[in-house]
Amino acid sequence: MIPSPERLDAALAAAAAAPDPRATLAALLGARHQAARARAFRRLEAGAGGVEVARALSAAADDMIGQLWRFTTGVLFPAPNPTEAERLAVLAVGGYGRGVLAPFSDLDLLFLRPWKTTARTESVVEFMLYVLWDLGLKVGSAVRSVDESLSLARQDMTIRTALLEARPLVGDAALAATLLARFRREVARSDPRPFIAAKLAERDQRHQKAGAVRYKVEPNVKDGKGGLRDLNTLFWIGRGLAPERDHDFETAGDDPGDRVLEGLLTPRERRTFAFAFDFLWRVRAHLHLAAGRAAETLSFDLQPEVARRMGWRGRGDEPAVERFMRRYFLVARDVGALTRAISAKLEARQQKTALGLSRLLPRRARPLGVEGFTAEAGRLSVTGPEVFEDDPVRLLELFVTADAEDLDLHPDAYAAVIRTLPKVTPALRRDPRAAAAFLHVLAHGQNPYRVLTLMNETGLLGRFLPEWGRIVGQTQFNMYHAYTVDEHTLQAIRVIADIAAGRLTDDHPLASEIVHRIADREALFLAMLLHDVGKGGERGQLEDGAIAARRACERLGVDARRIEQVVWLVRHHLALSDHAQKRDVSDPATVRAFAELVGDPERLRLLLVLTVADIRAVGPGVWNSWKGRLMRDLYAQVEALFRG
């Protein structure tokens, strides 16, 4: 039976006289803690926000540690008048210090003493940790003095980060206040750039480990690109720049980082931050409960259950799990936009060094000979948001320039594009200048993957090409595809560009040779871009894709002959792999049937290159030599048949 708050003190006092005080105490605290957690989980199931539940779990841990402290220091190891050396405080650090916990998060604690450890201090710390371990909790702990904590924070950016989020829990309040006041003064006086650079470098390493592509279909909610740690990094940067701001976590609003980011993000961006933070925390809480452990990867086996728990329902032919995952990836994209927005502010203040995300250069704009566009800090920027207001075609021309100059997009230009998206109207989509700029980037650019990815992340690609917009963030619930539909398509375009540039000659000798004999490069790239826009359609992927491809090409002003070529390729983009892998390529009937379907050598060449890129872009390890040999054999026989 769980004791009421009024009877808990008596129960704790009685535990001291029990044969095994530690076990008795653990049973009492465990029951109380589990009841508080159960209440939080019921709120989660009822649709409560992710941050609300994370705070409730943190509050439950606070209560448990408070009761444990009272028993340990007041009943088991009392010291009514502790000496100066016996002073002790317990602080929550890391995510727990920020006042948010997932169901299976670690508890990160700092046991703070004035200087050397005393026998009583050792006993208190040891007993508290043993009880927490008895409760089955994962605890990250350190026992340090004030001076040791400050010294380590100067040397180790991880410890510095943990202290930025430190929050007193129990014990000597004056001792905890001394540490936090001294630490914040040191942070405020120090150069923030090394810390910012370290956090950004750490983020890049984490992305490489968890998967550098934001749109992997099994994303890591905590450490992946666009996940919670990316938002935490922004919070840490904000706290590092203003260590004294908003340490009252109880009154900080729904998002404990909102005030910290006040000087770095606009009100609208802070609302986006708060939504993403809450959404990802809700996903993470449901993910932990669905897995029954501290799982951070939204794996295929857990996605349907998390989608169900979060209340998603299917719509038409799109199942609930795919709708949920699409929302997840759109939120991940927003997190990337927030990172760019803060990057712009930091560069404006020159608070980043060359290490990490920034390539900070002297802040002199370099003219590019294109009105309204400049190179700033090694990236393409704009002279002002008005560049796009009078002539929205400049939106497309910005990316033509980015490709021609081999420049990434400056955060200011990125934000200006997003603000101007309402200008992408039906009239702009049919503007010949806009179409010419888009087709140049797609089919004739130096690096179409990089530039189209930038267009996709700003939202411009989906606005300009509505057929593309419907597959942004779309997933296919199977273990075959490693990326979302839009990312898979962009990866396929990169493969074609690599084949044409001779970078994949060893892997694809035939495709590398015939790609230069293709007469219509634009048809190839348009077909690749549009080959999957029919996924999820009522008539089936191929038929709906062909209809959408025709509509898109007509709006772009593509000539009738090229439209027919693109539509045919989209409708039959699976034909070569199906004939090669599912039929007997040594049977003359198979060869004749495929030759009749293809019709001419140009389509055969187009289809081979498109198929190679499509399969290779599905995911690592999907392409193999067996598939390559079958396709080369079928290609050779059909080509010979065309030659008579």
Structure letter (DSSP) for residue 111: E
Structure letter (DSSP) for residue 75: I
Q: Are residues 230 and 324 in the same domain?
A: yes
Structure letter (DSSP) for residue 362: -
Pairing status of strand 408-409 against strand 139-145:
unpaired
- Exposed/middle/buried for residue 553 (C-beta within 10 Å: 0-12, 13-18, 19+): buried
Q: Extract long-range pairs of 180-186: CB within 8 Å, 24+ residues apart.
A: 180/247, 182/146, 182/150, 183/149, 183/150, 183/153, 183/243, 184/243, 184/244, 186/150, 186/153, 186/154
Question: At residue 252, does pLDDT exceed 60?
Answer: no
Pairing status of strand 373-376 against strand 379-382:
antiparallel
Distance in angstroms (rounded) separating the CA atoms of residues 310 and 45: 8
The phi, psi pair for 334, rounded to 5°, reads -65, -35
CB-based contact 509:597 (threshold 8 Å): no
Place of tokens 């340490």: 247
pLDDT class for 212, splitting at 50, 70, 90? low
Q: Which helix (H) or strand (E) holds 92?
A: strand 89-92
Q: Output helix, strand, coil percentages for the chain, rounded to the nearest 5.
A: 60, 5, 30
Over residues 66-75, mean pLDDT: 93
Question: At residue 28, does pLDDT exceed 70?
Answer: yes
- Exposed/middle/buried for residue 48 (C-beta within 10 Å: 0-12, 13-18, 19+): middle
pLDDT of residue 4: 57
Higher per-residue confidence, 197 vs 168: 168
For residue 410, tell me if it sits in a domain.
no
CB-based contact 261:33 (threshold 8 Å): no
pLDDT class for 238, splitting at 50, 70, 90? confident
Distance in angstroms (rounded) separating the CA atoms of residues 351 and 50: 32
Q: Are residues 13 and 108 in the same domain?
A: yes
Question: At residue 47, does pLDDT exceed 90?
Answer: yes
pLDDT of residue 3: 54
Among 318, 349, 380, give the residue marking a domain's end.
Answer: 349
Question: At residue 417, does pLDDT exceed 90?
Answer: yes
Q: Percent of the chain having pLDDT more than 70?
A: 91
For residue 309, tell me if it sits in a domain.
yes
pLDDT of residue 215: 67
Q: Are residues 210 and 295 in the same domain?
A: yes
pLDDT of residue 357: 41
Residues in the chain: 644
Among 333, 349, 365, give the residue marking a domain's end.
Answer: 349
pLDDT of residue 17: 73
The listed range with the strongest mean pLDDT (221-225, 248-252, 283-287, 640-644) is 283-287
Distance in angstroms (rounded) separating the CA atoms of residues 393 and 387: 10
Distance in angstroms (rounded) separating the CA atoms of residues 208 and 229: 13
For residue 81, tell me if it sits in a domain.
yes
Distance in angstroms (rounded) separating the CA atoms of residues 193 and 353: 6
pLDDT of residue 259: 66
For residue 397, tell me if it sits in a domain.
no
Q: Are residues 547 and 604 in the same domain?
A: yes
Question: At residue 249, does pLDDT exceed 70?
Answer: no
CATH assignment of the domain containing 327: 1.20.120.330
Distance in angstroms (rounded) separating the CA atoms of residues 43 and 59: 14
Give the residue numbers spanning the domain of 105. Answer: 5-190
For residue 400, tell me if it sits in a domain.
no
Distance in angstroms (rounded) separating the CA atoms of residues 593 and 575: 11
For residue 77, tell me if it sits in a domain.
yes
Name the nearest CA neighbour of 344 among 417, 268, 410.
410
Name the nearest CA neighbour of 387 among 407, 408, 415, 363.
415
Tell me the whole-structure pTM to 2 decimals: 0.83
Angle CA 634–635–640, to nearest 5: 100
Which structure tokens are listed for 148?
């040791």
Q: Are residues 200 and 173 in the same domain?
A: no
How do residues 566-580 score in pLDDT, each as one tens digit? 999 999 999 999 999
Q: What's the Cα-to-Cα distance from 380 to each of 53, 364, 413, rounded to whole Å?
A: 42, 12, 7
CB-based contact 235:261 (threshold 8 Å): yes
Q: Are residues 148 and 211 in the same domain?
A: no
CB-based contact 610:528 (threshold 8 Å): yes
Place of tokens 């050792």: 122
How do residues 458-488 score in pLDDT, each as one tens digit? 999 999 999 999 999 888 766 567 788 999 9
Distance in angstroms (rounded) separating the CA atoms of residues 557 and 443: 15
Q: Are residues 151 and 240 in the same domain?
A: no
pLDDT of residue 348: 62
CB-based contact 373:404 (threshold 8 Å): no
Contacts of 17 (CB under 8 A, 6+ apart): none
How do residues 340-382 score in pLDDT, each as one tens digit? 778 767 766 655 544 444 443 344 567 777 888 999 878 899 9
Q: Are residues 501 and 546 in the same domain?
A: yes
pLDDT of residue 579: 93
Tell me the three-class secondary structure of 577-595, residue by residue. Answer: HHHHHHCCCCCHHHHHHHH
> Residue 216 carries which side chain, given as an amino acid letter?
K
Q: Are residues 238 and 325 in the same domain?
A: yes
For residue 378, tell me if it sits in a domain.
no
Q: Note the helical H segments in 72-212.
A: 94-97, 119-134, 146-155, 157-164, 173-189, 193-210
pLDDT class for 505, splitting at 50, 70, 90? very high
pLDDT of residue 360: 38
How do residues 585-631 score in pLDDT, each as one tens digit? 889 999 999 999 999 999 999 999 999 999 999 988 889 899 999 99
Which structure tokens are listed for 307?
């989608």
pLDDT of residue 611: 97
pLDDT of residue 444: 96
How do residues 389-403 score in pLDDT, each as one tens digit? 889 999 999 999 999
Q: Are residues 127 and 251 in the same domain?
A: no
pLDDT of residue 5: 56
Q: What is the DSSP string of 228-297?
A: HHHHHHHHHHHHHH-TTS---GGGS-SSTTTTTTTTTS-HHHHHHHHHHHHHHHHHHHHHHHHHTS---B
Beta bridge partners, 381, equal: 374
The listed range with the strongest mean pLDDT (23-27, 258-262, 353-357, 603-607) is 603-607
CATH assignment of the domain containing 86: 3.30.460.10
Among 175, 190, 205, give the residue marking a domain's end.
Answer: 190
Q: Are residues 562 and 473 in the same domain?
A: yes
Distance in angstroms (rounded) separating the CA atoms of residues 344 and 265: 10
CB-based contact 578:627 (threshold 8 Å): no
- Exposed/middle/buried for residue 195 (C-beta within 10 Å: 0-12, 13-18, 19+): buried
pLDDT class for 258, splitting at 50, 70, 90? low
Over residues 51-72, mean pLDDT: 96
- Exposed/middle/buried for residue 559 (C-beta within 10 Å: 0-12, 13-18, 19+): exposed
pLDDT of residue 16: 74
How do residues 273-327 score in pLDDT, each as one tens digit? 999 999 999 999 999 999 999 999 999 899 999 999 999 998 877 789 989 999 9
pLDDT of residue 644: 77
Distance in angstroms (rounded) separating the CA atoms of residues 166 and 111: 12
The structural domain count of the chain equals 3
Q: Are residues 43 and 134 in the same domain?
A: yes
pLDDT class for 519, splitting at 50, 70, 90? very high
For residue 144, tell me if it sits in a domain.
yes
Distance in angstroms (rounded) separating the CA atoms of residues 394 and 388: 6
Distance in angstroms (rounded) separating the CA atoms of residues 50 and 107: 18
